[in-house]
């Protein structure tokens, strides 16, 4: 039986061949488009030679321009693709450290004017509320401090394991306890989220050290509650790992470690540079085809008559680019991304020495991997989908898709889990 180990470094030659398929398939489509144009408009023929010969002899400059333009865009995508994608998905960079949420709360508290002259009954109510909130969030009860200051402010310091809540005298005297409870809960949520982010950074640093690469930047999709992740970067010194907020909040430490290791594996295997270039190439030709089609059809019937055969030529070439961007290139891209997921799973298991953690994480991710940003109908963020650990798109599966499985950007979770179980010695009898 094929295990996940068998996918490690087994597709290098295949990947190189697939990359070469992009310009080859593009040239074939453009050749077919020109062939159709010459059939539709015989007056464009230069001589009586076969159409294929005429295209090769007299339209070579057109192919050369297409190759040069795609090459320039490939270079731009390679060097600037990471920043483009991070801006597209509105990823927010997580700072390495925070001055507000630190373990060193004592030094901060030394400068505060603490007082005990607030009515005791209200203080007891606040402490009860604080205890209930802490119990609900599953954290130790924070220390409560009162600052003798005429300002409506609540402040939380420290970490979720050792934090302090500071209320001002004016705040306690102005608001009722239920409102104070809401404000305290909000501050504690900030601490918990910040703690999760710091934990993610620590995990990323540890995994990077184990893998022998510089620590990538960490980005978070703040508004995404779905569970997903992906990585970008052209090399180990210029890369980033992107996690959704839902992933950080819902996975435990070992599961989060396995997912981060999976994304670091993509960086190690150079998948990120490949997928960035492929993704932006697809977007470029799709958009170019859209522009050509729209320009050929705009202006109404009279303008199309006046433009004559020129509009038809532009339309056919635009359709060729559009077909390339939406059909041919995605099929090549999917072939790359689907096998790469097995490789990254294997590397994650090797880096963490814990295949079960990734199995558990994949099961949770499979329940809701949807990323709303990638499903917006007003942008092309869906092009980033193959880079994610699991497909983040809402797919309407047709009968053709179900039979061919061509629309799947990732191998089935079940097969990935089976391969990981073989690594863990659970399926040796199969």
Looking at residue 402, its pLDDT comes to 43
Q: Would you say residue 131 has pLDDT above 80?
A: yes
Looking at residue 293, its pLDDT comes to 81
Q: Would you say residue 100 has pLDDT above 50?
A: no
Looking at residue 408, its pLDDT comes to 59
pTM for this entry = 0.78
Catalytic residue among 263, 341, 390, 421: 263
- The overall average pLDDT reported for the chain is 78
| 425 or 10: which leads in pLDDT | 425
Looking at residue 401, its pLDDT comes to 42
Looking at residue 277, its pLDDT comes to 75
Average confidence (pLDDT) over 250-254: 94
Q: How many CA atoms lie within 13 A of 8 on its CB side?
A: 15
Looking at residue 122, its pLDDT comes to 76
Q: What is the DSSP string of 244-271?
A: EHHHHHHS-HHHHHHHHHHHHHHHHTTH
Question: What is the percentage of the chain residues whose pLDDT exceeds 70?
Answer: 77
Average confidence (pLDDT) over 33-62: 82
How far apart CA 297 and CA 48 sit, in angstroms, is: 31
Average confidence (pLDDT) over 186-200: 86
Indicate if the alpha-carbon torsion angle 122, 124, 125, 129 is positive or negative. positive
Largest CA distance in the chain: 103
Query: Which tokens go with 71?
Result: 């090459």
Which residues are CB-neighbours of 186 under 8 A, at least 6 positions away?
A: none
What is each CA distance from 314 to 24, 64, 403, in whole angstroms?
21, 17, 35
Looking at residue 109, its pLDDT comes to 61
Looking at residue 64, its pLDDT comes to 83
Looking at residue 429, its pLDDT comes to 46
Lowest mean pLDDT across 60-64, 270-274, 345-349, 393-397: 393-397
Q: Give the model confidence (pLDDT) of 389-423 as tens digits.
A: 998 987 644 433 443 444 456 788 999 999 999 88
User: Of 109-118, 237-246, 278-287, 321-330, which one has max mean pLDDT?
Assistant: 237-246
Lowest mean pLDDT across 18-32, 95-109, 277-291: 95-109
Please confirm, yes or no, whether 222 is among the known catalytic residues.
no
Find the helix or strand (DSSP H, E) in which 108 lies.
Answer: helix 105-110
Lowest mean pLDDT across 172-176, 210-214, 229-233: 172-176
Average confidence (pLDDT) over 57-61: 82
Q: How many CA atoms lie within 13 A of 82 on its CB side?
A: 24
User: Of 66-70, 139-143, 422-426, which one has max mean pLDDT?
Assistant: 139-143
Looking at the DSSP bridge assignments, the partners of residue 242 are: 219, 230
Looking at residue 337, its pLDDT comes to 58
pLDDT band at 214 (very low <50, low <70, confident <90, very high): very high
Q: Give the model confidence (pLDDT) of 293-344 as tens digits.
A: 887 777 544 444 445 556 677 777 788 777 777 777 666 666 565 678 888 9
Query: Which tokens go with 355?
Result: 């295949």
- What are the structural domains, with CATH classification, of the chain? 4-90+257-423 (no CATH), 105-194 (3.30.2010.10)
How far apart CA 37 and CA 312 sit, in angstroms, is: 8
How far apart CA 417 and CA 215 sit, in angstroms, is: 28
How far apart CA 293 and CA 115 sit, in angstroms, is: 73
**How would you classify the pairing of strands 154-159 and 162-168?**
antiparallel
pLDDT band at 53 (very low <50, low <70, confident <90, very high): confident
Looking at residue 365, its pLDDT comes to 96
Looking at residue 72, its pLDDT comes to 81
């Amino acid at each position: 039986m094929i295990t996940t180990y068998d996918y490690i470094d087994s597709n290098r030659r295949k990947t190189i061949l697939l990359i070469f398929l992009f310009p080859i398939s593009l040239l074939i489509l453009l050749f077919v488009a020109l062939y159709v144009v010459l059939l539709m408009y015989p007056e464009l023929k230069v001589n009586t030679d076969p159409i294929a010969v005429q295209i090769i002899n007299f339209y070579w400059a057109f192919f050369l321009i297409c190759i040069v333009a795609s090459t320039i865009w490939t270079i731009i995508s390679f060097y600037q693709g990471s920043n483009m994608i991070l801006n597209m998905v509105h990823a927010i960079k997580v700072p390495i450290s925070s001055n507000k949420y630190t373990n060193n709360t004592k030094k901060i508290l030394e400068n505060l004017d603490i007082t005990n002259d607030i009515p005791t009954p209200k203080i007891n109510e606040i402490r009860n509320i604080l205890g209930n909130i802490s119990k609900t969030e599953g954290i130790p009860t924070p220390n409560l401090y009162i600052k003798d200051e005429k300002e409506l402010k609540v402040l939380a310091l420290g970490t979720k394991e050792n934090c302090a809540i500071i209320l001002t005298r004016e705040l306690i005297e102005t608001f009722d306890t239920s409102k104070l409870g809401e404000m305290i809960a909000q501050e504690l949520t900030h601490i918990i989220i910040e703690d999760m982010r710091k934990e993610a950074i620590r995990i990323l640093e540890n995994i990077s050290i184990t893998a022998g690469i510089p620590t990538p930047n960490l980005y978070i999709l703040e508004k995404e509650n779905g569970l997903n992740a992906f990585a970008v970067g052209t090399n180990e010194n210029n890369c980033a790992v992107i996690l959704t907020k839902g992933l950080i909040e819902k996975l435990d430490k070992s599961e989060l470690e396995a997912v981060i290791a999976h994304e670091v594996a993509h960086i190690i295997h150079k998948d990120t540079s490949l997928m960035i270039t492929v993704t932006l190439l697809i977007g470029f030709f799709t958009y170019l085809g859209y522009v050509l089609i729209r320009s050929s059809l705009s202006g109404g019937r009279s303008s199309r008559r006046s433009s004559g055969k020129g509009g038809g030529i532009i339309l056919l070439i635009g359709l060729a680019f559009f077909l390339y961007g939406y059909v041919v290139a995605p099929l090549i891209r999917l072939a790359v991304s689907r096998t790469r997921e097995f490789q990254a799973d294997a590397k994650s298991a090797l880096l963490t020495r814990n295949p079960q953690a990734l199995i558990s994480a994949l099961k949770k991710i499979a329940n809701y991997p949807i990323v709303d940003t990638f499903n917006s109908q007003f942008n092309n963020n869906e092009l980033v989908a193959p880079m994610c650990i699991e497909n983040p798109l809402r797919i309407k599966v047709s009968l053709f898709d179900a039979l061919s499985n061509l629309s799947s950007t990732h191998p089935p979770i079940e097969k990935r889990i089976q391969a990981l179980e073989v690594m863990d010695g659970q399926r040796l009898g199969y």
